[in-house]
Amino acid sequence: MSKEDIEFLAERRLESKVLFFKTKSIFTIDTKQIKRDILNHFPQIAKAEVSQGFFDAVKIVITERIGVALWCQDEQCFLLDSEGVIFEETSEIKPGLLLIETQEGLAELGETVIEGEQLSQIFDIRLKLAERTKIFLTGASLISEERLDIKTTEDWQIYFNLKGDLDWQMTELSLVLEKQISPERRDKLEYIDLRFSRVYYQ
Residue 64 neighbours by CB under 8 Å, 6+ apart: 1, 44, 45, 46
Q: What is the DSSP letter of 97?
A: P
DSSP type of residue 112: B
* The pTM of the whole model exceeds 0.85: no
Intra-chain end-to-end CA distance of the chain, in Å: 49
For CATH 3.40.50.11690, the residue range(s) in the chain are 69-201
Is residue 151 within 8 Å of 140, Cβ to Cβ? yes
For the chain, where do the domains classified as CATH 3.10.20 start and end?
Answer: 3-64
CA 96, CA 77: separation in Å to the nearest integer? Answer: 15
Cβ–Cβ under 8 Å, residues 122 and 82: no
pLDDT of residue 21: 47
Indicate the Cα dihedral angle 24, 48, 111, 2, nearest 10°.
70
CA 104 to chain centre: 14
pLDDT for residue 75: 79
Pick among 3.30.70.1400, 2.40.440.10, 3.40.50.10800, 3.40.50.11690: CATH of 69-201: 3.40.50.11690
State the pLDDT at residue 27.
58
pLDDT at 12: 78
The CATH number corresponding to 3-64 among 3.10.20, 1.10.1740, 1.10.3470, 3.40.1440 equals 3.10.20
Mean pLDDT by 10 residues, the chain (202 residues): 83 60 59 90 92 79 93 87 93 82 84 93 95 93 95 96 96 94 89 96 94
